[in-house]
Amino acid sequence: MNAISPRVFSGVQPTGNLHLGNYLGAIKKFVALQESQDCIYCVVDLHSITAQLVHEDLKGQIRSITAAFLAAGIDPKRHIVFNQSRVSGHAELAWIFNCVARIGWMNRMTQFKDKAGKDRENASLGLLAYPSLMAADILLYRATHVPVGDDQKQHIELTRDIAIKFNNDFSDRIAAAGLGTPIPMGEETVNGYFPLTEPMIEGPATRIMSLKDGSKKMSKSDPSDLSRINLTDDADQIARKIKKAKTDPDALPSETAGLAGRAEADNLVGIYAALAETTKAEVLTEFGGRQFSEFKPALAEPRGRKARPDQRRDAPADRRSRPYRRGLEGRRRAGRRHRREDDGRCEGDRRLPAVTRRLRGQAVAGLAIRRYVGPEGPAGEP
């Protein structure tokens, strides 16, 4: 039997500047989880090409996200931080999961409908199928938990559906190969290889909305910079954006029930609660009955301290200064840089960085699948 150990996996796309929603919804949780969990954190660059194929500086964006991870407090000496496309198993397992998943499952994904909009026929196939890649990201390492925002919960449910179907379809072969573990599937127990991953949705601000429209998620792609607080914004920029944030004319309610139907008010109260590490109810106990003209300055103060996790370390990332490069290189494992020839091909396993070798050791799913999915699979292939 091949027991499943508790493991956390999550990733961030390298597209645009990181903003407050990324920090509160993901990175802040990453830092907290590393104290008690075995964690794998990934810069998911393959996801970034699903909606936009060509990027001006994808390599620079990958470095920027990595710098934000380190500046926020993620420790690469204790946990894995890596670039998704450097591990081929992600794409390989995603293709297998494309064959496991059903088209009907993909058509129900609300994020595809939102991103494709009315022009669905011109959306890329990658945009439709990217939940399969997300499932592969998670299950390649047999991760048991994923910290996600509320909007990603549906994709974790799809990941579970894929794992259930795979485990059921290949239960006998998994058992024969000695690679599975008993996993309850309703009233039945099967020999499964992939765990049923659980989402970790915690805190009062699981989904941060736009400062200009409380019905839309805060986004790096919004044309208005006033709609978001970037992690690289200074205190003056943060205060100005909060001052200009859309609100309604009514005073803040004294109870959370009074936030119903007031999306912008609910968003700002949730941001304050998340930053102060308290609850919406406690925020309203303090500010209930007061106008936004009083609340916004109070919100801007903790934002100025927490919107930019250790800016002194993060700021040089944009300038590519020597101290930044030395600091980043010092945090990397020896040889993490995966050198490539001009034509993009890998120079060979002798140059594989230590982190990639470690990932290969953990990501046994690819080898296991080749062993038992089909009788013609090359058993024992490295």
Tell me which residues are annotated as active site: 115, 217, 220
Long-range contacts of 373-379 (CB under 8 A, 24+ apart): 373/96, 373/170, 373/173
The Cα–Cα gap between 249 and 243 comes to 14
Please report, for residues 59, 104, 179, 189, 314, the alpha-carbon distance to residue 186 in angstroms, rounded to integers and kept in the order given: 44, 22, 21, 8, 47
DSSP class of 338: -
* The two structure tokens encoding residue 258: 């009074």
Residue 340, beta-bridge partner list: 346
Q: How far is CA 42 from the centre of its chain?
A: 8
Query: What is the DSSP pairing of strand 181-185 with strand 8-12?
Result: unpaired
Are 46 and 62 within 8 A, CB to CB? no
Chain centroid to CA 288: how far? 34
In three-state secondary structure terms, 337 is coil
Cα four-point dihedral sign 313, 317, 323, 325: positive
8 Å CB contact between 279 and 204:
yes
Distance, CA of 161 to CA of 170 (rounded, Å) = 14
Q: By three-state DSSP, how is residue 8 classified?
A: strand
Q: Chain-centre distance of CA 53, in angstroms?
A: 20
Of the candidates 25, 21, 16, which has an alpha carbon nearest to the alpha carbon of residue 221? 16
Determine the number of helices (DSSP H) and then strands (DSSP E) in the chain: 18, 7
Provide CB contacts within 8 A for 235, sequence distance 6+.
304
Is residue 177 within 8 Å of residue 153, measured between CB atoms? no
Question: Residue 81 contacts by C-beta under 8 Å, 6 or more apart in sequence?
Answer: 41, 42, 43, 66, 69, 70, 74
